[in-house]
Amino acid sequence: MRARQPAAGAPGAATARRAAGSAAGTAARGEAVGAGNGGRARREPSYRPLWVEEPARRRRLPDPVRTAAVRAVLLIAVTLLQAMVAFLCTMAGSWLAFPMVITSVASTVVATWGVLDVWVTRQVWNQRHGVVSTPSSTARALRRERRRARRQARAAERAQDRIRRRRGAGQLSHS
């Protein structure tokens, strides 16, 4: 049985509309309204994660390379900060302008070293741990040699098995 709502202009009309709207809103969220206990029992809303994990598009950088990259980013940030302070001190005519310009030049050299460090560390990592994507990879040649050695070992083992199985087949006498 449905409760009778007051007319649009009646004194309790706005309250009735709000109550009906909130009941519809809770029903839309997946909660039960009025399930048994006079509208007091409510079901927990269904669980929905805040985000969905997606697989990474690229592989993670190796630890030494990532460490060098973080170091380079910090050095570059400090260099840019020093350059900006040097510029502002120069515009203001401060005594701090000359020391800041000198340290900015030195910091630029250090930041360049940091970027080169990332590049060299990455190259060393790739060479030591074998990246197969480049034709001159040392890892590919090592794998090829190991494969060849395994093939030869298997062929020798098969030949020995064949000899053992035959055990005298083809001999003219059993003496």
Q: Find the mean pLDDT for residues 53-82.
A: 91
Residue 174, C-beta contacts closer than 8 angstroms, at least 6 positions apart: 168
Given a cut of 60, is residue 29 above it in pLDDT?
no
Structure tokens at 103: 């340290």
pLDDT at 141: 80
Residue 40, C-beta contacts closer than 8 angstroms, at least 6 positions apart: none
Higher pLDDT, 170 or 31: 170
pTM of the model: 0.46
Q: How far apart are CA 147 and CA 151, in angstroms?
A: 6
Higher pLDDT, 65 or 8: 65
Confidence of residue 143 (pLDDT cuts 50, 70, 90): confident
